[in-house]
Amino acid sequence: MGDGRWKRRLVTAAVAVGTAGAGVLGTSTPSQAAVGVAAPYVDMSNSQVGLLDQAAGAGLTHYTAAFVIGSGCNQIWGDTLPVGNDPNVDGEIDKARSEGAEPIISSGGAAGLPLAWTCTDQNTIVAGYQALIDTYQVRSLDFDIEGAAIADTASIQRHFAAVKTLQTNNPGLTVSVTLPVLPSGLTGDGVNLVRAAHDAGVKIDVVNLMTMDYYQGDQDMGQAAENATDATLGQLQGIDGSYSYANLGITPMIGVNDDGSVFTLDNARSVASWAAGKGVGRLSFWSIDRDQSCGSVAAEAHPDASSTCSGVDQNPLDFTTALS
């Protein structure tokens, strides 16, 4: 996910879905963003990450910090510095935490891969994911799996074997998988990935849907997100009947999408209300770094899908408020 340099990155404004329309205050316990929260993505390498501080100061309680990527059998942040030794990202996480905002650590993205896709040593993969938990003192990990990675069955098997070990070793750990989606539901590869988790003995806590960039022409992006969520629930229940709306996440790209479609503030408000009524487990968006008008920042090469602004008329953090 992301835009510009990291196409289709997410920022998940963490707030309890049950408080939709009531501001950006959430209800989850510190250091754990479980189901039932809003957790917008934040591109931790983006020049507008200061918007995270503003959101935290306004009451944001959770967010999704993106992206950790695999580099061989090591893990680095998107700006190439190692996990636990990146003064910029680590400092931003510490500052947000001091203001009451807890991170979900997200690995992968459109331009990177989680560790299980770049390393074949199972013990190293487990240790790497465990290091994310220990270094940042979190109880929730997200894995954004896109492109060819979603069809890489060997990596997927390594990944869910590692997740099963992590869940055994870390009671209460919440794991989400962020996947591309169409209004008609997950792609065949996405369904196969969820089935692989089931075969490995893992029930994914949150299947987080990238309700964006459908490349299907102009449409109501709010209704499309709701349709995608309904359709995906049917697919998940075909694998495991215990899946419910609480195991689903909705993550639009706010404002102008890469395909030229527009997710408006009215879409955000309607999706938040719908999600609260259904009991959707997580409400997110890509990204907090974009949650301002383009008049607030310097123009970019591709302003229609800027990485630093939404491309629509808004006040700073309007989408954070609407999707909370």
> What homologous superfamily does CATH list for 37-323?
Glycosidases (3.20.20.80)
DSSP 163: H
DSSP β-bridge partners for residue 75: 70
This prediction's pTM: 0.89
3-state SS, residue 227:
helix
What is the rounded CA–CA span in Å between residue 307 and residue 319?
15
User: So which residues are the catalytic ones?
Assistant: 146
Q: What does the alpha-carbon distance between residue 55 and residue 120 come to, in Å, rounded to a whole number?
A: 39
Q: Please count the other Cβ atoms lying within 10 Å of the Cβ belonging to residue 248.
A: 27
**Which residues make beta-bridge pairs with 182?**
185
Distance separating alpha carbons of residues 193 and 152, to the nearest angstrom: 9
pLDDT in tens, the chain (324 residues): 754 333 333 333 333 333 333 333 333 333 333 336 889 999 998 888 889 999 998 999 999 999 999 999 999 998 778 999 999 999 999 999 999 999 999 999 999 999 999 999 999 999 999 999 999 999 999 999 999 999 999 999 999 999 999 999 999 999 999 999 999 999 999 999 999 999 999 999 999 999 999 999 999 999 999 999 999 999 999 999 999 999 999 999 999 999 999 999 999 999 999 999 999 999 999 999 999 999 877 545 445 689 999 999 999 999 999 998
DSSP label at residue 164: H
* Residue showing tokens 């316990």: 29
- Strand 248-252 to 206-211 pairing: parallel
Query: What is the reported pLDDT for 300?
Result: 52
